[in-house]
Structure formats: structure tokens, C-alpha cells
Amino acid sequence: MSGIIGRKIGMTSFFDDEGRNIPCTVIEAGPCVVTQVKTADNDGYDAVQLAYDEKKEKHTTAALKGHFAKTNTTPKRKVAEFRDYEIDVKPGDEIKVDRLQEGAFCDVVGLSKGKGFQGVVKRHNFSGVGGATHGQHNRLRAPGSIGNASYASRVVKGKRMAGRMGGERVKVQNLVVVKVIPDNNLVLLRGAVPGANGSYVNIEF
């Protein structure tokens, strides 16, 4: 598995050669710098560490400054590891968006939008209890009974209830690479990817 770090720009439409309107997500991917290559002998597993997006030195810790200085690169905002990297790289190399091939499939990992505290209808797609008749007042979006009377006489663990929603690591698989624009470090992926505009995503291919 190979990969690259990017930033979600937003969504747009793309018309293919047959005139079909394809909804796409625009991602600014790379260029990323290889800051470390981990091996099973030294680190216990094989992985490649990439860094992306410039960061001011005054906002960087001394430890990270030394880490980036080993590869003669400037401080970066986002650092991510990709296990079992299929491309032969060494520290200091650049990974650019031209590694992606149009028509190929890739996976995108991002942090989903935070929705705050939500009820069961929005959070778990509950349909609500009953209708508006038979004296029903204001319980249309309630979860209903959450436990048993005799056994187990408690609310079991994992019961789907209201709570905080979103802000979780989400992977969307098998997105098609519609178009690659190397001059602007842009890639268009078919469909939606997790996260808000401007958030960081990892593209695995």
C-alpha cells in the first residue's frame, strides 16, 4: 500500500467524455516529504512517514525541528505513517500527486465532521416511537424502552442512545481517481470524502 497526504478543497462536478456529470471531491495532494523510513529490524514494522504543509518554525517544538532537520526539510503541519509502502523511497524524497493514476481506485481516510450531541433519530436513524394519535404528545423522536423489566433488569452495554456524533476517523474505500492535475497538485475523486473543507486526509492507493 502506498499513500499521500492531502487537504480537502471542496466538491465540484466533472463531465467525462460521454457527457456524464460526475460529482467529485477536489483534494490538494502533496507534495509530501519522506521524513522517516521505518523497518521491521529497527522499529518492529515497515512504514514510511510523510510530512505535508508548511508550518512556522516559531510554532514548532525543538524535538520536531530536529526531526525535520535530519531530512533537510522545513517544519510541516501534518505527519502521517503509511504501513508497507510499496514505492521504494528514502528520507528526503518527495511524493507528488502524479503517483496517482486516472481510473485507478484509492481509499481516503479523514476525520468526519463533528455534529455535537444528537438524538437517536439523527445519530442512529431511529424512526421514532408511534404516531401523533392516541394521546401522543411530544415523544415522536424518543428512543422508546431502553431496558428489560426482569432479565437483565438493566441497560445493556452498547445500547444505541443519544450522544456525541461525528469527529471520528472514517475510511471511504474504492473511490475512482477521475482526474489528476499535477501542475496544481490537485486530484479529483469520484464521490464524497469525510471531513470539512480544509481538513487533512490520507489517500491510500
**pTM, entire model:** 0.82
Say how many domains are in the chain. Answer: 2
Kindly report the CATH number assigned to the domain that includes residue 40: 2.40.30.10
Is residue 44 located within the same domain as residue 71? yes
Is residue 65 located within the same domain as residue 135? no
Closest CA to 96 of 33, 47, 27: 33
Q: What stretches in the chain show pLDDT beneath 70?
A: 129-138
Is residue 106 located within the same domain as residue 134? no
**Which residues touch 59 (CB under 8 Å, ≥6 apart)?**
75
Is residue 111 located within the same domain as residue 126? no
Is residue 79 located within the same domain as residue 109? yes
Range of the domain at 153: 116-165
Is residue 123 located within the same domain as residue 153? yes
How far apart are alpha carbons 94 and 201 in whole angstroms? 18
Is residue 19 located within the same domain as residue 92? yes
The pLDDT tens digits of the residues spanning 124-165 come to 998 876 666 666 666 778 888 888 888 888 898 999 999 999
